Amino acid sequence: MLEPEKIQNKKLFKLMEQLKQDKILLSMRLVGQDYERHTMITDIRKHKKASFFVIDQPRDFMDAVAKIAVWEIHFEFNGPDTLEYIFTTSGGEFSGNEIQIPFPDYIERLQRRRHFRMHVPIGPKLFFMSGEVQREINLVNISLSGTLGSLSRLKGEDSKELILKKGDSLKNIEIVFPPDKERSERKVKVKKMVVKRVEHGRHKYLDYYAFEFMDIRRGEKKNLAEIIYYLQRLFLRKK
């Protein structure tokens, strides 16, 4: 496997400028917290010898960092070459409605292509059968290769018992995107998916599951791609 390439110094600054100019979406996650959102770089600033980048303030960010002394934020994005890039920052502060964050020491370019995960608005759900019971998952983000969502427990279920575990396979899944002002309801069918990760949320009755799509027909994948592009356009339109 090829080692990640570290982008530093002038190349790092040039890449950050390109992210700003091209309005590239970044996925940001607070390290050690149950918080992940999308944002964009809106400005690049220099103060003496230090460089900073400015991002739009994502939803609920102020509440998420209210008790955190030093922000540790992990960023991911797809570059112009379609490869995956990652970096982590330490520190930052509010600047009006924006967030000012110190430049990282370097950005890693991974030698692999990645399906970008798109945060979804409240509403989309994933349905599957567990025994003879239909269960539903509220989606958090989605890509062409998989999805992450929360499954609320039914009344009376043991909060310590996992409904699904890592490695479980599910078949004949349906993902439903509700209608909005511009589009009617959209559905995507997945023939098979596998549980890749299980996380407990802050509330004991809420579990998060990451799924990988293992078998999805070409037409359904095309439909999903159109939905993801639509979600991205909605995000950009709000900026």
CATH number for 99: 2.30.110.10
Higher-confidence residue of 215 and 58: namely: 215
126 and 225 in a single domain? The answer is yes
78 and 156 in a single domain? The answer is no
147 and 37 in a single domain? The answer is no
26 and 64 in a single domain? The answer is yes
What domain range is 182 assigned to? 118-237
155 and 172 in a single domain? The answer is yes
Q: What is the DSSP string of 174-194?
A: EEEE---SS---EEEEEEEEE
> Looking at residue 1, what is its pLDDT?
46
Question: How many of the other CB atoms lie within 10 Å of CB of 169?
Answer: 11
Q: For the chain, how many structural domains are there in total?
A: 2
Q: What is the pLDDT of residues 155-181, one digit of tens each?
A: 777 666 778 888 999 999 999 999 988
CATH number for 204: 2.40.10.220
12 and 53 in a single domain? The answer is yes
Domain boundary, last residue among 95, 113, 131? 113
Q: What is the pLDDT of residues 16-26, one digit of tens each?
A: 999 999 888 88
Q: How far apart are CA 203 and CA 121, in angstroms?
A: 20
Q: What is the pLDDT of residues 123-162, one digit of tens each?
A: 999 999 988 889 999 998 898 889 988 887 777 776 667 7
Asked if residue 50 has pLDDT above 50, the reply is yes
Percent of the chain clearing pLDDT 90 (strictly above): 46
> Looking at residue 205, what is its pLDDT?
56
Higher-confidence residue of 54 and 200: namely: 54
Higher-confidence residue of 53 and 133: namely: 53
Domain boundary, last residue among 53, 79, 113? 113
Domain boundary, last residue among 63, 92, 113? 113
131 and 97 in a single domain? The answer is no
Question: How many of the other CB atoms lie within 10 Å of CB of 236?
Answer: 11
Q: What is the pLDDT of residues 58-86, one digit of tens each?
A: 888 999 999 999 999 999 888 877 788 99
